[in-house]
Amino acid sequence: MDHGSKTFEVTAPRSRSYQGGFGRLFPDLAPWYPIGVPEHRLEEHFLKFASESMVEFPGQSPSALAAAAAAADPNVVEPFDSDIPSGYVYFGQFVDHDMTLDATPLSSAEVDPNRLHNFRTPRLDLDCLYGQGPAAQPHLYAHDAKGAFTGKFLVAPFDPGTFEAAPNGFANVPRTLSDLPRNAENRALIGDPRNDENVIVAQFHLAFLLAHNRLFDRATRAMPGATVAERFEAARKTLRWLYQWIVWSDFVRRIADPVVHATALEERIQPDGRVLWEMGYKDDVYDWKQDPFMPVEFSVAAYRFGHSMVRNAYQTNSNTHVAGFRVFFPIFDDHGRSSLRGGVPFDLVRVLQWDWFLKFTTSGGPFPQRARKIDTKLANALLHLHEDPDAPGNPKKLLNVLAARNLVRGVRMKLPAGDDVARLFGLPPVALAQDEPKTLWYYVLKEAEAQGGGRLGPVGSIVVAATFAGILKGDPLSWLNQQPTWGPHRDPLLTGKRGDGTPIDFGEDPAEPAIDADNEMDGNSEWGLPAVIRLSRLPIDGPPFRDITVVPAALAAAG
């Protein structure tokens, strides 16, 4: 007998392995489509607009712009610079890979978000790092000689490489350098291969791997008698919660309107003394806990604001022999030492000096390198991607032009017009010229541009902040729900102090700067993104790189 066919999704979103679909925040708003453009001309239409109207320096190659940047006065602030350090752009990409993975081909003409599958858990749980855990994906983790799990991630030794400037190798290479584990084809063996798309995101991934390993060592000291699994879980919980804290208190705070950020998620003390976190947009924008999905308005439009913040080229470190001060490396040119594309082992050209990408007390002069403003102009490098297999770098191919791809995807995903979303929020819309597209991604950029480009405008801020707040509040394993009064300054594995104030002997070098003593956060929180780099022990400032020397041929021959 059939007793009914209704399915109750009792495991979503509480299941730790839940992978949700996509959905719409504003299903009642009509989709926007460019007037007078037939479907078969859609790609051509947006390729033309992106190439002519959404590029800062028309006709210039990324390599030529990198050379121009190297020749410029380092103390001159470029007109497209924001106040946000460039590292946050690529941390934002790391966060995106942690939340979403949509494998839908761009050529799909009709896309129903309810049929899309998100191959990432729609939470800030670092599943791009931990994968499905050491039992299901043992190749991500280190094992001892007997094959037993050690509680740590697998990382690879750092090979500085050999270049024309140093055919015999190098001396004084920092021992703290490492690489991602790779197979024989140099493919990174990590939880999400997309994190090896470029060198900057890849080294963020490495920093998180090393941060976990250090926290595991600290857990070993703090938890005598605990099993490997218990120490692993303690390190994972601390790193996940620190990561969630950074996303909300550092990253989103930097890019969203301050009033929107404060409204989206607020800590409140209840009359009975309990501490609860309350969402300000759960009734009219997004409530992940009640309706678990990844909003396409966020993933396809608003969160892609970071594309406008990418620079054409970056300086990597201060080693004068191989990288060189005032040498800029294009972000997306061909593989090799000439660019920062991923998929190859790190070397002394491609490894990052972190105070050139994030604000540390050792940063100075033109550093950290700044992200571009959030506006409707994208770096020329994003017109020449290498995504089209038949014509990599050709700006007439849709897959190579990021702005055109975003515009086409927004239309095919049937997203609403940005000004319609503004009116739904009761906000005055930003004026657009007749030839400017109204699709939500472009509108979010235009809105930020109208306010100077330093951060998102009202619509972009609400969609981004409400989504992050909903994800954090809807995740039953987040610190907001598990331990609402938690903070990095109270975590024993981060501070070295137990709840009663007694110190924990981590057995670490006492001369090492404390990760909570730098005031690195430009007025936000000292426990921001730089804290992960401190935990990783990757080189932060110049001396480790300036001390690297070329090995003379005679010394190399002598062994």
Does 12 reside within a domain? Answer: no
Does 504 reside within a domain? Answer: yes
Q: DSSP string covering 68-123, please? A: HHHHS-TTSPPTTEEEEETHHHHHHHHHHHHH------TT-SS--GGG-B-SS-SS
pLDDT in tens, 47-65: 999 999 999 888 777 777 7
What is the pLDDT at residue 322? 55
Instruction: Return the structure tokens found at 41.
Output: 């001309």
Does 112 reside within a domain? Answer: yes
What is the pLDDT at residue 387? 86
* Count of C-beta atoms within a 10 Å radius of residue 530: 27
Instruction: Tell the residue number behind the tokens 């009116």, with chain if given.
Output: 423
* Count of C-beta atoms within a 10 Å radius of residue 168: 14
Residues of the chain with pLDDT under 50: 1-19, 102-110, 114-120, 335-336, 513-524, 554-559
Question: For the domain that residue 56 is a member of, what is the CATH number?
Answer: 1.10.640
Does 559 reside within a domain? Answer: no
Instruction: Tell the residue number behind the tokens 């050209």, with chain if given.
Output: 349
Number of domains in the chain: 1
Of 390, 551, 522, the closest CA to residue 454 belongs to: 522
What is the pLDDT at residue 435? 94
What is the pLDDT at residue 121? 60
d(CA 113, CA 289): 18
What is the pLDDT at residue 33? 97
Of 111, 115, 130, 106, the closest CA to residue 17 belongs to: 130
What is the pLDDT at residue 334? 56
pLDDT in tens, 178-189: 999 999 999 999
Does 14 reside within a domain? Answer: no
Does 17 reside within a domain? Answer: no
What is the pLDDT at residue 9? 31
What is the pLDDT at residue 332? 77
Answer whether the bond into residue 368 is a cis peptide, omega within 30°.
Answer: yes
Q: List all residues 6 or more positions away from 527 whose beta carbon is below 8 Å from its beta carbon.
A: 242, 245, 246, 249, 487, 488, 489, 494, 516, 521
Any bridge partners for residue 269, and if so which? 275
What is the pLDDT at residue 512? 54
Q: Domain range for residue 278?
A: 22-554
What is the pLDDT at residue 83? 93
d(CA 44, CA 153): 46
d(CA 228, CA 134): 12
Does 476 reside within a domain? Answer: yes
pTM exceeds 0.85, yes or no: yes
What is the pLDDT at residue 364? 86
What is the pLDDT at residue 494? 94
Does 10 reside within a domain? Answer: no
What is the pLDDT at residue 486? 95
What is the pLDDT at residue 74? 56
